[in-house]
Structure 1
Amino acid sequence: MASIELKSVEKWYGEAQVIKGVDLDIEEGEFVIFVGPSGCGKSTLLRMIAGLEETSRGQIIIGGRDATAEPPARRGLAMVFQSYALYPHMSVRENMGFSLKAAGVPKEEMAAKVDEAARVLKLEALLDRRPKDLSGGQRQRVAIGRSIVRDPTAFLFDEPLSNLDAALRVEMRYEIAKLHQALKSTMIYVTHDQVEAMTLADRIVVLEAGRVSQVGSPRELYERPGNLFVAQFIGSPKMNVFPAATPGLRLPAPLPAEAEHFGIRPEHIAIGAAGSGEIDGTVDVMEYLGADTYVIVDCGEAGKLTVRAHGDTGLSPGQPCGLAFEPDQTHLFDAAGLALR
C-alpha cells in the first residue's frame, strides 16, 4: 500500500498536449476515480502512473519514491484492463498464479497466495475451470485475482466493467467495493460511468480536456460543484441550467450582478399549478421509471427542464404547470462558468 503524488504532470504527443499540468495527491488506502468525457485524458493519466506511457514533464511519486523514469515492473503496481486477457488453455488457478510462477516464487507460497485471493474473490469453486467455462463477471474477478496475488502497492483499474452487461456491472461494483474494504489498498479507477464513480470512490477527480476540473468526495461534487462543467457532468439526470436573466423567472430576491447561469437539480423542483413557483411551463414528455418519473417541462426561453417526481404524477403532456425551486438548493455561475455559491 502506497501513496501516489503527481507533480505538474504533462503528456505531449509531438505538438499536441493531452495532459496539461496535473497536480494530485492520493493517500495510502484511498479509492480515487478519474472521470470525464471521452478524450479528456483519464486513461492516458492512468497509463502514465503505471509507466505504460512516458511522462513528458513533471514527476510521479509512488510511496515517497520518484518513479517518473522507472519501468512498469519496478513501480509495484497492478493494472486491471477492460479486456480480461486470460490464457484460454490455463485453469483459473494457473492464470492467477502465472506471474508468480514466472517470477520464480516457490510452489507452496504461490498456492497459498492464489488460495487467499480466491477466498477474497469467492473463486474457490472455480479454480480448476478454464476461462471459457466462466461468465464475464467471473472472468473479471479472475483478472483482479491475478493482480491481488502480486501484493501490489496500488491497484489501477482502466474501465474494468465496460464489457459487462448492466446486471453484471451492478454485481461487480459490489465486488470491487468489498474488495477495497477487505484489502484497504490504494486504488485508482478510470470510468466514464457516473454511477460507478459516485458509489465506489472516496474521492472523484473530474478531468476536462487534460486538466483537473475539480477534486472532491462524491457528495462534495454533487452538492457543491465548483464550475458549470462539473455541475452538468456529475448527476443523472444532469443539473438544469439556464440563463439567470430568463424572462418570466420569479425569484424571491434579486440575483448577484455577476450571475450568468442559474442551476437547479431535478429532485429539487416541485411541480404545481401554473402561476405557482418560480417559473411556468408546459409538460412536454413523461418518462415513467416505476418509483420515479422524469417530467420534461418546456419553459420557453429557459429551455426544457427535467423534474424528478415520485411514481405516478397524474400529469400528462401538454398540461400547463408551475415549477417551484427549493431555495437552498439553487446554484449560480458567472460568465466564466465558475460557481458563485
Structure 2
Amino acid sequence: MGAITLKAVEKWFDDVQVIKGVDFDIREGEFVIFVGPSGCGKSTLLRMIGGLEDTSRGQILIDGQDVTDQPPARRGLTMVFQSYALYPHMSVRENMGFSLKTAGAPKAEIDAKVDAAAEVLKLGDYLDRRPKDLSGGQRQRVAIGRSIVREPTAFLFDEPLSNLDAALRVEMRYEIAKLHQKLDTTMIYVTHDQVEAMTLADRIVVLEFGRIAQVGTPRELYENPANLFVAQFIGSPKMNVMPCTTEGGAYHLGGGRGGAYGGARPAVKLGIRPEHIALGPVGSGQIDATIDVAEYLGADTLLVVQLPDAGQATVRVIGDTDLRPGEQVGLEFDATRLSFFDADGLAVPH
C-alpha cells in the first residue's frame, strides 16, 4: 500500500496562497521528488501530506481514504527531517525504538524491529553508541531507522541530506536509493539539489510559485522540458537559451546563422544543453562565440562563451581543452537536441 492522491489541494496563510490547486497521483512504491526554487511551496506541500500543515481546500487521499482532516498519527506516514532530532542521552537502539516503546509495544517486538532496521541501514555495530559518537551520515541513518521501525505506508523526506558535507551526501544518496529498493515503499522527498532529484527519483515534480510546472521522469524533464522555467531549472549547468526568430521552415539567431525549423508554431527562444554543442572554426555551425572563461573540472571543462546579440552560453567539453579566454570559435548545435519555446515560454513541438 502507499498510493497517495492530491485533489485540487490549496494552502492559504491568511490572504496569501502558497499552494495553488495541486492535482497529482503518487503510485504505490514510487519514489517521487519535489523540487523547485526557495519559496515555491515544496516543503509546505510535503507537510500537508504528512498532516503537519492544514489543507485549506481540496482533498488528500491515502490508499483511497480521505485523510484531509486526519491528524498525522492517523495517516500511517513517517517523516525524516533535515535535523536529525535524536535524543542525546539515549543509545542508537533506544532512539530507534522510542516511538514503539511509547506506543506500548512489547520489548521483544521492539528489539526485533530495531535489529531488522539496523541490518538494512548497516547500523548493527553502533546500536549501543550515543548520537555524539556518530558521524553526520550515521546520525541521519539512525533518524531513518527510527522511521523504518514504524513500518509506515510511506516515507516523507524533507531535505534530509542538506546538513551533510559533499562526500556524505553522495554516500547517503546511495544508501537511500538502496533503501527504497529493499523496502519497496512509497517515498516522497523534498530537495533543492538537482543531483539528488535526478539520481533518486522515479518521477520529479517541479514546482513554480505553488503550482506544478511539469511532472516526469528525470530523463523526460531533462530532454523534453515543457516550458522555459523547467528548461533552465533542471540541469547543471542549466540549458542555454537564446533569442531566435522562425520563418519559412528555418530558425535564425541574432548575430548568428541558424538552421532548419519544423515547429508547429512560431518560436522566440532556442534552448540547447551545454553537452550538445560542438566546437569548430569561426564561421562553422550556427553561431560564432568568444571564449570568456574556461572552468577545468577534471573529467570535463566548461567553457563560458559570449555570443553576439545573444548573451552568454556554456559549452561542455570532454576532458581538457587548449582554448583560452579571448579566442573565437564556431558553435555547432546537435539538431536532434534543440528545444524551442514560444512567446509564452511554452515548448513548441518540432
Match of 1:147 in 2: 147
Distance 2:335 2:80 in 1: 44
User: CA offsets per residue over residues 86-138 of structure 1, 9 Å max, x none?
Assistant: 00000000000000000000000110000000000000000000000000000
Distance 1:312 1:105 in 2: 60
Match of 1:34 in 2: 34
Amino acid at match of 2:51: G
Match of 2:248 in 1: none
Amino acid at match of 1:110: I
Distance 2:314 2:71 in 1: 49
Q: What is the SS of the residue equivalent to 2:309?
A: helix
Which among 281, 288, 294 is matched to residue 296 of structure 2? 288
Q: What is the SS of the residue equivalent to 1:145?
A: helix
Where in structure 2 are the equivalents of 1:194-209 lying within 5 Å?
A: 194-209=194-209
Same amino acid, percent of matched pairs: 74
State the Cα distance separating 1:254 from its structure 2 match: 5.0
Match of 2:47 in 1: 47
Distance 1:63 1:252 in 2: 51
Q: What is the SS of the residue equivalent to 2:260?
A: coil
Where in structure 2 are the equivalents of 1:206-225 lying within 5 Å?
A: 206-225=206-225
Match of 1:323 in 2: 331
Match of 1:84 in 2: 84
Which among 237, 243, 258 is matched to residue 251 of structure 1? 258
State the Cα distance separating 1:255 from its structure 2 match: 6.6
Q: What is the SS of the residue equivalent to 2:162?
A: coil
Amino acid at match of 1:117: A
**What runs of 5+ residues in structure 1 fail to find an aligned partner?**
none
Task: Determine whether 1:261 maps to 2:269.
Answer: yes
State the Cα distance separating 1:264 from its structure 2 match: 0.4
State the Cα distance separating 1:232 from its structure 2 match: 0.4
Count matched residues: 341
User: CA offsets per residue over residues 194-238 of structure 1, 9 Å max, x none?
Assistant: 000000000000000000000000000000100000000000000
TM-score, with structure 2 as normaliser: 0.96
User: CA offsets per residue over residues 263-314 of structure 1, 9 Å max, x none?
Assistant: 0000000111111100001111000001100001111211111000011111
- Superposition RMSD on alpha carbons, in Å? 0.9
Q: What is the SS of the residue equivalent to 2:119?
A: helix
Task: Determine whether 1:19 maps to 2:19.
Answer: yes
Q: Which runs of 4+ in 1 moved over 3 A?
A: 254-257
TM-score, with structure 1 as normaliser: 0.99
Match of 2:169 in 1: 169
Amino acid at match of 1:235: G
Of 206-215 and 292-301, deviating more is 292-301
Q: What is the SS of the residue equivalent to 2:196?
A: helix
Are the counterparts in 1 of residues 256 and 308 from structure 2 also a CA contact under 8 Å?
no
Task: Determine whether 1:72 maps to 2:80.
Answer: no
User: CA offsets per residue over residues 135-184 of structure 1, 9 Å max, x none?
Assistant: 00000000000000000000000000000000000000000000000000
Distance 2:222 2:32 in 1: 16
